[in-house]
Structure 1
Amino acid sequence: MQGINDFNLWEGWILQLFDAATGLLVFIFAILAIIICCLLCGNLPETNETSTKTRTSTRQRSPPEQRYPSRVVREPPFAPRPIPGVSHAVTKVTPSSPTGSKEVKALRGGEFVGNRMRFKVKVLNDTPYTITDVRVFLISYPSAALRLASDDDDEFFPKIEPAGFRSPTFDFLPTQDCVRGDIVAGVSYIDMTGKAHTLSTRPFVIRAVCDLLIPDQVTPEEFTARLRSHEHGEIVIKVEEWTPEEMFDKALRIVDESNFFEISSKSDMKEGIAFSTITGLAKGKYTGKSVGVQISITGPSKKKGATCIIRVSGEDQAMILPAIDDLKERLSAWLCPLCSSPLTLENVADLKAGKVIECPFCCVSIGR
């Protein structure tokens, strides 16, 4: 009987302990539920908020500027620097041309031959491939002063081999005594990939008057009388490479080659200064209008450095300036002393350097 009572006593204590533990757990869960609800609703108790602020304020530190006065806080750069090598790796690569660095060239040239202006185009295939369907055509020319000698203004060639060329010519007939203007030609072709190309030549400048003149033989008195009623213009040029005596001989040849009839030529010297004068007269081949020229040369005798005055008088005012330009270029050019042919730029450079050259036309030695 005593054992039963003890068992009942222990059972009661266990039940009481279980009830107490259950109540404690319920209380804890209730507190946790309240805290969770407050967090979700944003309404924490005043005591918790105050304590949180207090803890936060106690953990605040002084700014870096106060703790480290000499330290400078730098902002990171806006754009990061490229990684070495990557920028080159992603660069766009331009595909190379199938013809390489070499190309097709269009060259041009021209001269007066008799009563014709001959214009030549040279198409040079400097590529390692054959080009086909090559057409050379005229783009522009002074049609008011020139007309084509034929009805064809283009030339066609089926192909041009590598390192090959074609040189078609176009003949023009002058219709005026003064020809001024530019001639431009074009070239079209198909390359080895089947792509069409078009290019043009550099303008060929024509300033021709003297080539379209014929000598007009008159007496000095008639020459003076004609020039009184003509318009005139003049230009002064300085030549450093020749003496006055050399320029006098050169001017005599140029007046003759420019189709002027030599009216008079005289030279004199006074106190070491040379004076020379040359006059000539011509007329237009087509209009018959008169053009007169007077070239005066002065300078220290036998010393390089002469002054030339070119004075042109014309019945047609449009012929004066082109004639002055033409004579100026001829007087400034380097000519062979034997055949009066123009020397190349390479010849001129060699002469200025004191070398002996050979005329490319008559093969005479120059410079000794």
Structure 2
Amino acid sequence: MFSCKKCNEPLFIRNAEMKDRILTLETQCLNGHKSARRVSDHNLQEMGPEIFKKMFICLYCGSNMSLVETRLQGSKVEGLFLCPKHGVEKREFPEFLLSTIEITASEVDSPRSIIDSFRCPQCGLIYAVHEMEKRGGLIEIDTRCANGHRAQRFLPETIDPPLLKRILQRVVHCDKCGLPGHIANVEGRGNIIRVQAACPVHGITRKDIPQAFLDLLKEAVSEIPEDAVLQSTLISRECRQPLAIRAIEDTKSAYRLKCVCPGKKDSTDLILPLTWNEPVAERITRAILTCDECGHLTHILSKRKSSKKVNFQIICPIHGVMQREAPPTIFNIVSDYEEKIDRLPSIVRSLSCEKCNMPLALRDVEERRGLIEFDVECRNGHRGKRLFRPGLDTETLVDLYKRFYQCPECYEQLDLVYVEPGAREDRVVQLCSIHGKFVFDIPPDHARAMQIAYDELQADKSKPPAEAPEPESPITLEVEAEPIISAESGVKVMRGCEIVGGKFDYKVKVLNNSGYVITNVTVSIVAYPLDCLELAGENVKSISRIEVGGFRSPQFTFYPSKDCVQGKVVATVSYIDFLDQLHTISVEPYLIRSVCDLLQPTKKTSQAFDLILTGLEKTQQEQDLDWNAKVLFTKAEMILPTKNFHVVDTEEHILAGEFIGTIRGYAEGKYTKNKVAVVIMICGPENGRHSVIKVEALGEDISMLPTTIDELADTMDSWVCLRCGAPLEPEQVEEIGRRLPIRCKYCTHTLTIALYLQ
């Protein structure tokens, strides 16, 4: 009802008017197409709240608007709605709807639109506030992004204080670079105050805001994190990845940070005055221990001190040794905070193949040139090295070796046969029940870690999986760093259904893009229409494991027990991740709605068909289509057999330039043998592109008729081959639109645009 007929985009309400107990809605889509929709009085009670949410949508950008004022004008109300991007927009509606509109206003998520409006649409950067002014019950804001793009934003004066504080935090952000600063000075000038915002890079910027916001501004600035400047600085503007620090130099007034972007490999120098506190020290430590190539966290390998600087090496598991340089005081800070950093996620990500993203299996471990070298190989035969520093703590080694208790051939968990101490290296023997034993000669501390890892894995088997809580995503205006892996991460679940030979094959596809192997995957059918479908087999399918980047598609088969099938299939997917936590995903319900696929065409003569119609229930639907009537008649002749109806007879004639055609079809249900008949009547100008089609459905079971009409009506407005009735592909429709001939892939008939535009 609320979709544009021209572009199929959603429609939103411009005005509403009640006349003769019918509410007429003036609507418009975001492409500017205007139309009208009508709702009867008695349907407003049920549909009202959902309908009037469409009145709160800006017609220029699609943002949610706030209701700021209502003005009574006789029997009508003029509502003033505020878009954060385009300002005030007027809407008119009847007076009796005022209470409904006000209730709907409390349900609209306008704060989300306000937050989203402070991101530059041209470059994606966050706007800084340059000037604020109260005017006419609104707050007008002049904003600028770091790339120089300007925009006006509008807020209601009744905005919630927490949201206003987030906006006011942008006052102390620099217009040139976007970095957060602090308030250097405040000058009072009547109702307007001038705030001197100090940027750590570009110095003082003067900004004017209303006097009433001063206290809230100071409170908002005090809530900015201490490391906000550093956090914003150590993010690449181009790819939004965290920067890695290669060297730090201590100048008299500030620190020079020599950085590189792991994503773009671009180098940049930053000069920042740093106030050392715990958040700043932790962020500097993470940046200086970040790999230049992949962004993984590393370990400090060795160091060489002098009076003015410390040269030290870090070791990345994938890319090896890298050089770092820092003053002695900063190196001491980095050394203190290094132990607090959790490197396990980086280590786990490094245990996937760089070429195919498959998990790596251990082939050998040896100490060489002062490094612990892991010889690894994935299932596709890609071999590589993973490098670690000697003397890793036992906890890290145990977490590391837990990932290697999998057979490289079948990925089943390996058994630890024994650990035998040796002179320089200990011998460890692992066993796969299918592929035999694996022997490793490794350093003693690694052998002990393998023993502990095995014991913990065995102990974990007796523990029930823990339910993983779903964290709530916080609302923030700050730009968050994106992960280096650009592909969609996580476990994705998709579903689909097809009708094959009178049965419904329902599949659930589980795609593992999480970066880790998932195990104990269970797909369960929770609900389905029991009155018309029967499930063949169990309602639960189990999968032992799904590799990184892999997928599985278990299938469930349903057999219909009635000729009319309608209902939703609901399923869930659960799995255990690499931390042994249980996750459950609800699969989007799939609506099964079918009649025509469960019919059998039955031949009848015209006389017998007329006799059958006398005792059948009847329903009908009429619709206007932008098709030529004769073309639509030809389509209907082709479509009915594809919907399992036997065409009983057809009739067509032209009167005074008007085409009138009738097609009658008959079928019976496969299971109940219920009779179903359809009568399609088409009329319209002989040479025009507008026609009216009326579909009558008649049957013994009235529950089958609405679905039958819907299936036929949906197909009538589609593009099909005019010879065999097969549907055309979207690419073929585009080619026809460009006036190119196409060939039906089912009957090889050549089709042109002229056939459809008679």
- Which residue number in structure 1 is paired with residue 497 of structure 2? 110
1:263 to 648, 653, 657: 648
SS of the aligned residue for 2:224 comes to: helix
| Separation in 2, partners of 1:333, 1:155 | 37
1:81 to 211, 214, 218: 218
One-letter amino acid of the counterpart of residue 293, structure 1? V
- Which residue number in structure 1 is paired with residue 707 of structure 2? 322
| Separation in 2, partners of 1:81, 1:361 | 72
Q: Is the 8 A contact 1:292 1:314 kept in 2?
A: yes
Q: Is the 8 A contact 2:529 2:566 kept in 1?
A: yes
1:129 aligns with 2:516: yes
SS of the aligned residue for 2:523 comes to: strand
**TM-score, normalised with respect to structure 1:** 0.70
Q: Is the 8 A contact 1:212 1:285 kept in 2?
A: yes
- Which residue number in structure 2 is paired with residue 273 of structure 1? 658
One-letter amino acid of the counterpart of residue 303, structure 1? G
| Separation in 2, partners of 1:335, 1:324 | 18
**Which one has the bigger strand percentage?**
2
One-letter amino acid of the counterpart of residue 109, structure 1? G
One-letter amino acid of the counterpart of residue 217, structure 1? K
- Which residue number in structure 2 is paired with residue 208 of structure 1? 594
- Which residue number in structure 2 is paired with residue 195 of structure 1? 581
- State the Cα deviation string for residues 32-88 of structure 1 (Å, max 9, x = none): xxxxxxxxxxxxxxxxxxxxxxxxxxxxxxxxxxxxxxx989999655614758614
| Separation in 2, partners of 1:206, 1:165 | 24
- Which residue number in structure 1 is paired with residue 632 of structure 2? 247
| Separation in 2, partners of 1:319, 1:161 | 45
- State the Cα deviation string for residues 65-121 of structure 1 (Å, max 9, x = none): xxxxxx989999655614758614378999999999522221111122112111122
Q: Is the 8 A contact 2:742 2:751 kept in 1?
A: yes
Evaluate the alpha carbon distance shift between residue 304 and residue 84 of structure 1 in structure 2; reply closer, same or farther with a 3 A threshold.
Answer: same
| Separation in 2, partners of 1:247, 1:153 | 44
Q: Is the 8 A contact 1:207 1:325 kept in 2?
A: no
One-letter amino acid of the counterpart of residue 224, structure 2? S
Give the superposition deviation at 1:180. Answer: 0.8
- Which residue number in structure 1 is paired with residue 542 of structure 2? 156
| Separation in 1, partners of 2:569, 2:503 | 14
| Separation in 1, partners of 2:554, 2:747 | 27
One-letter amino acid of the counterpart of residue 128, structure 1? G
Evaluate the alpha carbon distance shift between residue 193 and residue 280 of structure 1 in structure 2; reply closer, same or farther with a 3 A threshold.
Answer: same
Q: Is the 8 A contact 2:638 2:724 kept in 1?
A: no
**Which one has the bigger helix percentage?**
1
- State the Cα deviation string for residues 181-206 of structure 1 (Å, max 9, x = none): 11122111122332221112222112
| Separation in 2, partners of 1:327, 1:210 | 9
Evaluate the alpha carbon distance shift between residue 281 and residue 72 of structure 1 in structure 2; reply closer, same or farther with a 3 A threshold.
Answer: closer
One-letter amino acid of the counterpart of residue 634, structure 2? D
| Separation in 2, partners of 1:365, 1:88 | 67
- State the Cα deviation string for residues 207-230 of structure 1 (Å, max 9, x = none): 211111112222212211221221
- Which residue number in structure 2 is paired with residue 35 of structure 1? none
| Separation in 1, partners of 2:604, 2:741 | 42
1:177 aligns with 2:314: no
Evaluate the alpha carbon distance shift between residue 79 and residue 269 of structure 1 in structure 2; reply closer, same or farther with a 3 A threshold.
Answer: closer
Evaluate the alpha carbon distance shift between residue 163 and residue 353 of structure 1 in structure 2; reply closer, same or farther with a 3 A threshold.
Answer: farther
Evaluate the alpha carbon distance shift between residue 346 and residue 123 of structure 1 in structure 2; reply closer, same or farther with a 3 A threshold.
Answer: farther
| Separation in 1, partners of 2:220, 2:501 | 71
One-letter amino acid of the counterpart of residue 580, structure 2? G
Higher relative contact order (CA closer than 8 Å, sequence separation 6+)? 1
| Separation in 2, partners of 1:354, 1:284 | 41
Give the superposition deviation at 1:264. Answer: 0.5
| Separation in 2, partners of 1:130, 1:346 | 38
| Separation in 1, partners of 2:679, 2:215 | 76
Give the superposition deviation at 1:163. Answer: 2.4
**Equivalenced residues, count:** 296
| Separation in 1, partners of 2:532, 2:581 | 37
One-letter amino acid of the counterpart of residue 81, structure 1? K
- Which residue number in structure 2 is paired with residue 284 of structure 1? 669
| Separation in 1, partners of 2:538, 2:685 | 55
Q: Is the 8 A contact 1:119 1:171 kept in 2?
A: yes
Q: Is the 8 A contact 2:638 2:723 kept in 1?
A: no
Give the superposition deviation at 1:348. Answer: 4.3
**TM-score, normalised with respect to structure 2:** 0.36
Q: 136-145 or 214-223, which moves further after superposition?
A: 214-223
- State the Cα deviation string for residues 128-163 of structure 1 (Å, max 9, x = none): 322222111212111110001x32112211222222
| Separation in 1, partners of 2:585, 2:625 | 39
Q: Percent of counterpart pairs with the same letter?
A: 33
Evaluate the alpha carbon distance shift between residue 362 and residue 192 of structure 1 in structure 2; reply closer, same or farther with a 3 A threshold.
Answer: farther
- Which residue number in structure 2 is paired with residue 225 of structure 1? 611
- Which ranges in structure 1 are unaligned for 5 or more consecutive residues? 1-70
